[in-house]
Structure 1
Amino acid sequence: MIFKSTNIDIPVKGVYQDLLNEANDNATFIDSTTGESLTLDKLRSDSKKLAAGLIDKLGFKRGDVLAIFSPNKIDYPVVLFGAIAAGGIVTIIDSKYTDDGITYQLKDSGAKFIVMCPSLRSKAIKATAAANMLKSNMLLFGNEEIDEIKPYSFLISEREADPVEYSPEEAMSTTAYLLYSSGTTGKNKCVEITHSNIVTNLVQIGYHNDDINPESTFIGMLPLHHIYGIIVLIHLTLLKGASVVLIPNLEFDLTTFCKAIQDYRVNVIHIVPSIAMLLVKSSISKDYDLSSLRSCISSAAPLSKELAKSFARKFVPIRQSYGSTEFSFTHFVKYADDVPVESIGKPIPNVECKIISEDGKELGYNQKGELCIRGPNVMKGYLNNKEATEACIDSKGWFHTGDIAKVDEFGNFYIIDRCKEMIKCQGYQVSPTELESILNSHQLIDDAAVIGVYVDQDATEYPAAYVTLKKNIPETDKLKREILSFVEKKVPPYKKLRGGILYIKKIPKSSSGKILRKKLRNKIKRDHPYYKKQY
């Protein structure tokens, strides 16, 4: 059975044409630390002047890729839309990445230019050198030249370039963003998101979303390298004329978060379940006036019914959305108050969904199976990876999520289990195989398997590893600490093995050599200290 949503007319055009031309004049970005603001008029002017500077001074060409490597900053939208206005493509690098992770993304995306946060320049300099990027193509946020790297502001031209416009056909085929998704295996995959993907998803999200308007003030805590952050905090707020209070911290800090809500009378927050748990349990939230809140949406990981009810009792009702980078953000939104808290709601307009059994048969109401989705906001594909694209998008255009879901008789969808191969850690998806490859490179490890261990008090999963040591190597706590440190040096913080190390004599595998993670997930409930006491 195919479940269809409402069909609406959606314009097909470029991101700049749609957003900056159609944006509400009240849209404003605010720095939570300094109080500095960026108005829509200045954003329009500076982005077009930056586009002119990129073209005139650096020889930026249509189709060139510009990377942004920075925590949230007030002029982030200027750089983003400056590159888009020049006909470029933007890739955004996680500010917590290690040197190797940065280098990989620069090479994989084909980035020729980078704008970075000054405090991250040492990592960026190493990575750009490894990626053979010209130093003249490296720029800094801010207004100061450091280590012979100029600030991007030196490119701000006297003239305003005419933003590149796209016909409907070009908007549907031309990539706007190259964002990275963990996928289910190995290295992060590069998701090609077209101009029309973005424009479409914004119209879909906004169709029933009348509670976001010029009176809305968002808090910009979500990292802008993530599809969740960039769509909600930059794109959607521009169209709706909302204000965004950006928090520039590299690490989440609950005190800073609560203080910003209080000081700027924030009324809309987008969070992940682990932050909802912090707000509910921590005494810090009691020290601040959070009475301005009227709307909260949780995404990027499953939200439990118990946590949703606790949050609602203490603050405001919390809604859950579901999506991924491959969907250009989301496919489901709760429009009505009578939708059960554990449901992700109904599909957004112009989307088809179906639930299928293991043998590919379509299922009906209240039957559990894999969720498949088809719609105009589904990605173009994985960059230079036809095999991975065809593995998740079939010949009829259905995107196979890998997630187990069901739909009730009222048309509300429920995620029963998210893709088991992935670990959902603090809103990020972590690939077990990536961590396994690092562990297996350790000279004392013979084999390794990584799975997630769920921690109720943090409302998130953490990666945990079973390891088999080489012959005659003793299983000691000291070696566990050494292995943890070995991995920590090679991954961003959210990929650290916070679930710890457990020794095992042999990793269970199928006859074909595939790790039997279901057996390990059952075993870890007997072995892991998280299920007995704090690890």
Structure 2
Amino acid sequence: MPAESTYPPVDIPNVDLWTFLFERKERTYPDDKELFVDADTNRSYTYAQVKAAAMDFGKGLKAIWEWRKGDVLALYTPNCVDTPAIMWGCAWAGGILSPANPAYTAEELAFQLKDSGARALVTQKPFLSIAKEAAKMVGMDEEYVILMGDERDPSARHKHFTSIRNISGAVRYRKTKVNADKDLAFLVYSSGTTGRPKGVMLSHTNVISNILQGKVIEGPHLKPTGGPDGKGDKILAFLPFFHIYGLTCLVHQAADAGVTLVVMPKFDLEKFLNVIQTFKISFVYLVPPVVLALAKHPIVSKYNLSTIRMLNSGAAPLTQELVNGVNERLGLKIKQGYGLSETSPTTHAQSWDDWNKTIGSVGRLLPNMTAKYMDAEEKEVPTGEAGELWVKGPNIFKGYLNNVEGTKNALTDDGYFRTGDVGYQDKDGNFYITDRIKELIKYKGFQVPPAELEGLLVSNPAVADAAVIGVYDKEQATELPRAYVVLAPGQTKGDAKAKEIMDWMSTKVAGHKRLRGGVKFVDEIPKSASGKILRRVLKEQAKAEMELKAKL
């Protein structure tokens, strides 16, 4: 029998995100509560300010571009304190937000712009040249590329979003009505093993459901008042807002709970530690490589992290050794959660009380959800036996954009999402993830599709064939992309050739997709009779090599 959540169900209102956040009666904090603050500049938004800025931006979209329901606004930027206002302004106007990785090349960004059908693109000044190049590739007029953040365009060719907010005559516009369950709020892109990222369609109801599901775990512990400085809990946000993990668990949760989100544009260890100490951070979402740094890096000892009451790790499995290492060194508690872009994202989480009782578990199933583990014949396996995790609930996505076949393969007729992850459930309702059916590489929480890298590699004249896998690096607590390469005739194997290929690849892809696991030369790539690359054979080979190396 499928497992039902052991938490009482939560009521999911049939409203859109704007109504849920800004028109509800049960808000427990005042209008002047500071919700978002920039860790570098201290520039901030209160609840009232972000609501006003978002509404003005939404009116501006309608006034200058005749924004309509379903229009897509792309966001190409690191984390920014302006993101919430732009995101909710787009929602007010009935639009769909499609955030893109700021590490993308122009070609990678252009694919997302074209696939999503984006009407406009918001970026920051340091990213403007790539944004313009990508816009040109897809035929987007330059006037639809606008700026956010602290810097303006000196040429004044690209409007800042604040000027779009201040359009005269925009006051006559009204909020667009949407169907919360059917109309999309977000179009986030998730890398797949087949190469190109897939547009994950998330409705207003999907995201609201996950906010309320997660609130059952985190809500009782996050307070808008009190704490070390009397200003309530503070969550540190360095995890990217271009991923639904950052958007739901960080941005939306802060607004729902009335706690302050301290925004870092990107991760830097010393800055991270300094922000925790300076702002008296109480809760941090992080990934295993950061947990590793907390356990081992000498610089950590210079900072006071005692205000932290809980850490939550996601995006990749967390080992018992890392949990124990941080707890023994710093006295900090770390719990774990699990989710995917397609699930808005969280499906499982450890509670604050259980963090040290089930180390290695991703926790229990969130409210309003059902799950089961299935074997290769798609038959449910008994409790304790390993299988592929299938999940069902109000937070499950609507399908992949422009990808009927992908949607059909991911969603069953009765509404289950096949996660592609392997694990098991114990008798107490704790879930464990042990492996992936999908061959997606996870580098520090970022998704790296092997087929995309393979496609690039074989376009290099020196390469006859190639396969890419993830190899686990214990020192960094993450997988690293490694290429296995068959050289073209006349090419010479060796370290110089490997470096040449790695350096060439670095010019073609975003930083997280670089071949940090190296290049290995082989005589042939193992393939099935149908020609499919047998990456598992290469993984087993790599594992055997590492075990042998460890013994020497």
Tell me the residue number matched to 2:259: 242
Tell me the residue number matched to 1:442: 460
Equivalent position to 2:131, from 124, 143, 148: 124
Tell me the residue number matched to 1:34: 41
Measured in 1, the distance between the counterparts of 2:413 and 2:13 equals 25
Equivalent position to 1:221, from 234, 238, 243: 238
Tell me the residue number matched to 1:281: 296
Tell me the residue number matched to 2:342: 326
2:78 is aligned with 1:71: yes
CA contact (8 A) 1:463 1:498 kept: yes
The aligned amino acid for 1:211 is H
The aligned amino acid for 1:212 is L
Measured in 2, the distance between the counterparts of 1:153 and 1:229 equals 23
CA contact (8 A) 1:12 1:200 kept: no
CA contact (8 A) 1:27 1:240 kept: no
The aligned amino acid for 1:64 is D
Measured in 2, the distance between the counterparts of 1:246 and 1:372 equals 34
Unaligned stretches of 5+ in structure 2?
A: 225-231
CA contact (8 A) 1:274 1:460 kept: yes
CA contact (8 A) 2:386 2:422 kept: yes
**SS of equivalent to 1:296:** strand
In the TM superposition, residue 281 of structure 1 has moved relative to its aligned partner by 1.1
Tell me the residue number matched to 1:486: 504
Measured in 2, the distance between the counterparts of 1:531 and 1:16 equals 56
Deviations 1:236-285 (A, max 9, x none): 11000000111124xx2101100100110001000000111112111111
In the TM superposition, residue 527 of structure 1 has moved relative to its aligned partner by 4.2
Measured in 2, the distance between the counterparts of 1:488 and 1:279 equals 29
What does 1:289-308 align with in structure 2 at a 5 Å threshold?
289-308=304-323
Deviations 1:194-223 (A, max 9, x none): 010001111111124311221210111111
In the TM superposition, residue 383 of structure 1 has moved relative to its aligned partner by 0.3
Measured in 2, the distance between the counterparts of 1:62 and 1:386 equals 23
What does 1:381-396 align with in structure 2 at a 5 Å threshold?
381-396=399-414
TM-score, reference length from structure 1 = 0.96
CA contact (8 A) 1:143 1:152 kept: no
2:8 is aligned with 1:4: no
Tell me the residue number matched to 2:228: none
The aligned amino acid for 1:136 is E
What does 1:81-100 align with in structure 2 at a 5 Å threshold?
81-100=88-107
Alignment RMSD: 1.8
Measured in 1, the distance between the counterparts of 2:151 and 2:274 equals 28
What does 1:322-471 align with in structure 2 at a 5 Å threshold?
322-335=338-351, 337-338=353-354, 339-471=357-489
What does 1:154-233 align with in structure 2 at a 5 Å threshold?
154-157=163-166, 160=171, 161-166=173-178, 170-209=179-218, 210-214=220-224, 215-233=232-250
In the TM superposition, residue 396 of structure 1 has moved relative to its aligned partner by 1.3
In the TM superposition, residue 146 of structure 1 has moved relative to its aligned partner by 3.3
In the TM superposition, residue 309 of structure 1 has moved relative to its aligned partner by 1.3
Bigger CA drift: 55-64 or 366-375? 55-64
In the TM superposition, residue 113 of structure 1 has moved relative to its aligned partner by 0.6
Measured in 2, the distance between the counterparts of 1:219 and 1:530 equals 41
Equivalent position to 2:274, from 248, 256, 259: 259
Measured in 1, the distance between the counterparts of 2:85 and 2:547 equals 48
TM-score, reference length from structure 2 = 0.93
Measured in 2, the distance between the counterparts of 1:27 and 1:154 equals 23
Deviations 1:5-29 (A, max 9, x none): 1433211210111123345433511
Deviations 1:472-526 (A, max 9, x none): 3211221111111121111111110000000000111111111122211121134
The aligned amino acid for 2:161 is Y
CA contact (8 A) 1:15 1:199 kept: yes
CA contact (8 A) 2:34 2:44 kept: no
**SS of equivalent to 2:37:** strand
What does 1:495-510 align with in structure 2 at a 5 Å threshold?
495-510=513-528
In the TM superposition, residue 528 of structure 1 has moved relative to its aligned partner by 6.0
Measured in 1, the distance between the counterparts of 2:291 and 2:244 equals 19
The aligned amino acid for 1:466 is Y
Bigger CA drift: 208-217 or 79-88? 208-217
The aligned amino acid for 1:52 is K
Q: How many pairs are equivalent?
A: 529
Tell me the residue number matched to 2:52: 45
2:21 is aligned with 1:19: yes
Bigger CA drift: 171-180 or 9-18? 9-18
Tell me the residue number matched to 1:144: 152
Measured in 2, the distance between the counterparts of 1:336 and 1:135 equals 48
**SS of equivalent to 2:239:** coil
Measured in 1, the distance between the counterparts of 2:273 and 2:385 equals 41
CA contact (8 A) 1:28 1:37 kept: yes
The aligned amino acid for 1:311 is V
CA contact (8 A) 1:16 1:163 kept: no
CA contact (8 A) 1:12 1:199 kept: no
**SS of equivalent to 1:124:** helix
**SS of equivalent to 2:347:** strand
Measured in 1, the distance between the counterparts of 2:154 and 2:494 equals 46
Tell me the residue number matched to 1:112: 119
Measured in 1, the distance between the counterparts of 2:506 and 2:493 equals 20
In the TM superposition, residue 424 of structure 1 has moved relative to its aligned partner by 1.2
The aligned amino acid for 1:479 is K
In the TM superposition, residue 183 of structure 1 has moved relative to its aligned partner by 2.4
Measured in 2, the distance between the counterparts of 1:143 and 1:270 equals 28
**SS of equivalent to 2:485:** strand
In the TM superposition, residue 51 of structure 1 has moved relative to its aligned partner by 0.9
Measured in 1, the distance between the counterparts of 2:15 and 2:323 equals 38
The aligned amino acid for 1:8 is V
